[in-house]
Amino acid sequence: MNDEFWQWDYFWEVFPTVVGDGLLITLQATVYGSIIAYVLGLVFALLRRSPIRVVSTVTWAIIEFIRSTPLLVQIFFLFFVFPDFGIRFDALTTGVIALGLHYATYAAEVYRAGIEAVPVGQWEAATALSLPRARTWRAVILPQAIPRVLPALGNYTISMLKETPLLLVIGVTDIAGAAFQQGSAAFRYVEPITIAGILFLVLSYSASLLVRWLERRVGTVH
């Protein structure tokens, strides 16, 4: 191995592995993690608004706790503690659950803001029409709240994308993990890690353009 800082031969050698193996895992983790976060986030948001005091307080405490502590430690927690309960997921599944759970607490706030942005008159009208509570949520409030929170949720998906490399600590080889593995194998980190960085930049920047387009389409709410 020569001492050149940058070797194109090596670059082209590792490029297919980093992109081929890593990209798929990164996208899988992001997509599945987002689905969990969006669904669970809505559940959190609704529980947070529960008229039963205990439910809303406990939900608030859970959200604050998860949000104030590192995702990395939560990943370790699930990875080491799941087996104690006889739950044996592969590392990627555990990681996706951790990502989804962590980001659900952010999504809950987004939904909350979206729900609060629905004008009071809508609630009053639903009451005046004596719609049942469930129907008010399903047919009046949520259809107005959700489209406007999509850009904000999209931003969290981008954040999540950039946090998928955390899963390398439990052996999931996403883009960064694959790059690191390649680097360790050849003891040359420059090219693979640079590829990983550029790939993340391209992915997150194009995703942010998508979110901006979405913002223009549906308007935005904070």
User: Which positions from 155 to 184 touch another protein by CB under 8 A, shown as an x/- string?
Assistant: xx-xx--xxxxx-xx-----xx--xx--x-
Query: Using CB under 8 A, which of 151, 153, 178, 182 touches another protein?
Result: 151
Token match 């607490």: residue? 105
Query: Using CB under 8 A, which of 65, 127, 135, 143 touches another protein?
Result: 65
> Taking contact as CB under 8 A, which single stretch among the options 9-17, 27-35, 42-50, 68-76 is the one that binds another protein?
68-76
Nearest CB to another protein, comparing residues 68 and 130? 68
Smallest separation, CB 67 to another protein (Å): 7
Q: Is 81 in the site for another protein (CB under 8 A)?
A: yes
Residues that bind another protein (CB under 8 A): 5, 65, 67-74, 76-77, 80-81, 84, 105-106, 109-110, 113, 151-152, 155-156, 158-159, 162-166, 168-169, 175-176, 179-180, 183, 189-190, 193-194, 196-198, 200-201, 204-205, 207-208, 211-212, 215, 222
